[in-house]
């Protein structure tokens, strides 16, 4: 038998190496794709690196994009521990942004900036939380598939946002891009001293750390993981599965809602279609690459934030359409999905005397 310690290291190594390997392999695939459409892949890599991590200025850009990604990733990562696949990140983000703008416009100018900011954050948390909490409730009480319902609710949230910024909330001076009235500049979320990075990054990191502690170190998290592992066993053990589902979904949604608040209060200053710019969908990808680990999600969010930040330069320098970033994300996602099937099957991460895994039969075409 192998020592438990050794096995532990093998597993840790595996869970680091496989996602990293998947990322590298998808970079290769992406290079082939670039070559196929007539761009030099090495120049594209160099541009991405320069735009994402090349200097402090561009790295700040990356971090600004990473902040909402950390928060939206939690919207998928937390329910995943319960065995739920929730992809309503975009909708929860939009609802959080709507909540924040309502409070921001209502209180703005009538209260101290700190109060306004706390109010906006709470509203973002609440709106996003209730939005995904409803998905959890539908799942528990009606057995509605949470993946489909959360995705449908994305479209409903976006329609609601469009209704608000084209109707009741519309600022008549915003012609090309219908927007709400802006919140007063003093109430905007500030930046970290000496940088252009707003406090949203701190929100993201703190939320991820709290989520990690909550899932890994508390009885609540233990109960959630138990229910995620075997729901029948959890019921027999007397765990309140319904309450757990809704609590986790509420927390998940509130994280994405906070991302919406950050986008409104720190980046745009108003609500408009820039809110549904895809941070929700990218957050799903972050959660999957990080294998639902909130701490890993912070690192992955920075990587992906860098890739999102490089979209502009790919367009300007290499004349690649803005969808290039989407293609790359899709490739990463597919390769990461494939890497799931390799866990426990690669000999290097195993003990020597263990039976070598049988080769997988090739897919029948």
Partner 1 sequence: MAAETVGWWGVPLAIAAGTMRGGTPFLFVSLGECLTEKSGKINLGLEGTLLTGAMSAYAISYLTGSPWLGVLMAGVSGMALGFIHAWLTQQPKVNDVAVGIAMIIFGSGIAFFLGKPFIQPSAPQLPTFDLGGWSSISSLQEALRISPLFLLGVALAPAMTWFFKSTRWGLFIRAVGDSPDAALAMGVSIKKVRMLSIIAGSFLAGIGGASLSLYYPGIWSERISTGQGLMAVALVIFARWQPMQCLYASLLFGGAQAFGPALQSVGITQGYYLFNAAPYILTLGIMILTCSPTRTISGAPGALGSGS
Asked whether the beta carbons of 121 and 92 are under 8 A apart, the reply is: no
CA–CA separation, 92 and 256 (whole Å): 6
**CA distances to 39, 45, 197, 324, 331 from 36, in Å:** 7, 15, 37, 13, 15
Look up residue 103 and give its two tokens.
């409070």
Look up residue 244 and give its two tokens.
């757990």
Region near partner 1 per CB under 8 A, out of 14-22, 54-62, 202-210, 281-289: 281-289
Look up residue 266 and give its two tokens.
């720190």
CA–CA separation, 268 and 264 (whole Å): 5
Instruction: Based on the shown chain and the rule CB under 8 A, indicate whether residue 22 belongs to the binding site for partner 1.
Output: no
Region near partner 1 per CB under 8 A, out of 45-53, 119-127, 142-150, 213-221: 142-150
* Closest approach of partner 1 to the CB of residue 196, in Å: 29
Region near partner 1 per CB under 8 A, out of 50-58, 103-111, 137-145, 262-270: 137-145
Reported as type and span, the H/E element at residue 244 is: helix 241-262
Which is closer to partner 1, CB of 114 or CB of 363? 363
Instruction: Based on the shown chain and the rule CB under 8 A, indicate whether residue 151 belongs to the binding site for partner 1.
Output: yes
Asked whether the beta carbons of 166 and 178 are under 8 A apart, the reply is: yes
Look up residue 54 and give its two tokens.
């090349």
Which is closer to partner 1, CB of 11 or CB of 163? 163
Chain residues 67-96 in contact with partner 1, contact rule CB under 8 A: 85, 87
Instruction: Based on the shown chain and the rule CB under 8 A, indicate whether residue 140 belongs to the binding site for partner 1.
Output: yes
Sign of the Cα torsion 179, 94, 126, 306 reads negative
Instruction: Based on the shown chain and the rule CB under 8 A, indicate whether residue 364 belongs to the binding site for partner 1.
Output: yes
Site residues for partner 1 per CB under 8 A:
37, 85, 87, 138, 140-145, 147-149, 151-153, 155-156, 159-160, 162-163, 166-167, 281, 284-285, 288, 320-324, 326-331, 333-334, 336-338, 340-341, 343, 345, 360, 363-365
């Amino acid at each position: 038998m192998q020592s438990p310690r050794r096995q532990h290291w093998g597993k840790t190594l595996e869970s680091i190496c496989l996602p990293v390997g998947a990322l590298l392999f998808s970079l290769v695939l992406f290079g082939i794709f670039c070559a196929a459409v007539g761009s030099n892949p090495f120049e594209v890599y160099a541009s991405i690196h320069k735009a994402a991590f090349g200097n402090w200025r561009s790295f700040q850009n990356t971090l600004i994009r990473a902040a909402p990604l950390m928060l939206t990733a939690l919207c998928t990562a937390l329910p995943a521990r319960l065995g739920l696949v929730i992809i309503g990140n975009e909708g929860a983000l939009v609802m959080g942004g709507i909540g924040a703008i309502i409070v921001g416009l209502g209180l703005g100018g009538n209260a101290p900036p700190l109060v306004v900011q706390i109010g906006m954050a709470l509203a973002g948390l609440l709106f996003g939380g209730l939005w995904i909490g409803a998905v959890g409730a539908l799942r528990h009480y009606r057995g509605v598939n949470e993946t489909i319902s959360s995705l449908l609710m994305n479209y409903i949230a976006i329609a609601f946002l469009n209704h608000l910024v084209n109707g009741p909330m519309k600022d008549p001076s915003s012609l090309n891009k219908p927007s709400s009235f802006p919140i007063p500049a003093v109430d905007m979320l500030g930046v970290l001293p000496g940088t252009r990075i707003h406090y949203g990054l701190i929100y993201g990191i703190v939320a991820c750390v709290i989520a990690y502690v909550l899932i890994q170190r508390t009885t609540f998290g233990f109960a959630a993981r138990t229910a995620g592992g075997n729901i029948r066993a959890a019921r027999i053990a007397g765990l309140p599965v319904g309450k757990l589902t809704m609590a986790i979904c509420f927390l998940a949604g509130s994280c994405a809602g906070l991302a919406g608040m950050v986008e409104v209060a720190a980046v745009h200053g108003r609500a408009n279609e820039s809110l549904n710019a895809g941070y929700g969908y990218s957050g799903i990808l972050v959660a999957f690459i990080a294998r639902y680990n909130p701490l890993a999600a912070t690192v992955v969010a920075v990587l992906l934030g860098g890739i999102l930040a490089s979209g502009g330069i790919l367009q300007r320098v290499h004349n690649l359409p803005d969808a290039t970033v989407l293609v790359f994300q899709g490739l990463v996602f597919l390769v990461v999905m494939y890497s799931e099937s390799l866990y426990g099957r690669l000999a290097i991460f195993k003990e020597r005397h263990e039976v070598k895994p049988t080769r997988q039969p090739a897919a029948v075409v």
